[in-house]
Amino acid sequence: MSTIWVALLLFSLVYGLASGNASATGSAALAGAPAAVKLCLETGGLICLWSGVMEVLRRAGALEALSRALSPLLTRLFPRSAHDCETMSALASNVSANLLGLGNAATPMGIRAASGMARLSDGAASDELCRLVVINTASIQLIPTTAASLRAAAGSATPFDILPAVWLSSIFSVGVGLAAAAVLSRLWR
Amino acid sequence: MDGVISLSAAAIITAAALGGLIRGVDVFSAMAEGAAEGLKTVLRIFPPLVALLTAVYMLRASGAVDALTSLVSPLLELLGIPPETSVLMLLRPISGSGALASASELMDEYGPDSLIGRTAAIMLGSTETTFYVIAVYFGAVGVKNTRWAVPAALCADLAGFAAAAFTAKFF
């Protein structure tokens, strides 16, 4: 991350000098930090609000309900791990927490499922472990609260009108990820 | 339809609160504790945002963003993706805060309800910080040979970006 940050800064500086935008680059260097304060203040309230709503849903048993609803699908996607009750329940909780946008709950559950799957393999990642990671790298959030909060803070008239588009894009993205996984798992020996 | 969409946030919040109350949850303290958790998230993302928004603003002012945009636009237009989002797509798999910084800058520049602003929001909502997730998972279970996890995850990201650009136009 340090390398990337320094590369971005250095590239901007050199490019700004070369293209005659040196003074604009100089003033922009001091504009980012106030913009970060503004962004956090404006989106902070909404992030807190949605985090609260999701906590209400979690305590109302939404995680368990989603896990139950998802388990037939997950059993088909992860046939080898399906015999292992503990791994499967961690997996179902991981996917459900992701759907609700509970990142703090999703990661430990996902890691528990991943270590269950790693036990069944020999050093290299098994097909199912890769599939679990692919599902987690493709966001599958029911309510994209950060993106909507960002739009609301920027003064959008209808910050939530991206919902159907986000759902379709997420489904397409996960679908392509799993399809790529299926193809690659045959090619990659 | 517009009315339904503009009420959706209010409806979701009310339904969650009512559902919780019916199921015997102390909804007010759940809400408050969840909000406190959200505050921690905001405090956690603020320091990296200071660093990354500085970089993103400099990148834009130096003219480098425009240069990159025109460089990659033939390829991206083929996929129907607005080339203005190229920095966002570049940062998205590497850094969550970087993507947030870039999306916020795009919305400031072009407006949150413009095609570019909407595309940026949908991209942000439908993809994840791929390399971070891969590092966390494989690191936690101690698997070094990740086989095809990285290429498959990047395929998913690319598909998500193209789908975001497509759905931003039609939904």
DSSP-based three-state secondary structure for A100: coil
Question: Looking at beta carbons, which residues of chain A come within 8 Å of B151?
Answer: 180, 184
The mean pLDDT of B58-72, rounded to a whole number, is 88
Q: Is the ipTM of this complex over 0.95?
A: no
Distance from CA of B10 to the nearest CA of A (A): 11
DSSP-based three-state secondary structure for A15: helix
pTM of the predicted structure, to 2 decimals: 0.88
Chain A, chain B: beta-carbon pairs less than 8 Å apart: 352
Question: Looking at beta carbons, which residues of chain B come within 8 Å of A40?
Answer: 42, 45-46, 49
Convert the pLDDT of each residue in A21-80 to its tens digit.
888 898 899 988 998 998 888 888 888 998 899 899 989 988 889 899 999 999 999 998
Crossing angle of the two packed helices B130-141 and A127-137, in degrees rounded to 10: 140
Convert the pLDDT of each residue in A90-114 to its tens digit.
999 999 999 988 877 888 899 999 9
Question: Looking at beta carbons, which residues of chain A come within 8 Å of B53?
Answer: 32-33, 35-36, 39
Across the interface, do B171 and A188 touch by the CB < 8 Å criterion?
no
Interface test with B, best of A39, A41, A140 (most B CBs within 10 A): A39
Distance (Å, whole) CA A159 – CA A31: 25
Nearest CA in chain A to B137: A111
Domain ranges within chain B, ordered by starting residue = 47-170
Distance (Å, whole) CA B127 – CA B130: 8
Quote the distance between the C-alpha of residue B61 and its chain's center: 23
Interface test with B, best of A12, A168, A174 (most B CBs within 10 A): A12
Convert the pLDDT of each residue in B141-168 to its tens digit.
888 888 889 999 999 999 999 999 999 9
Percent of chain B with pLDDT over 70: 96
Residue matched to tokens 């460089």: B71
- Token pair of A1 as six digits: 């991350």
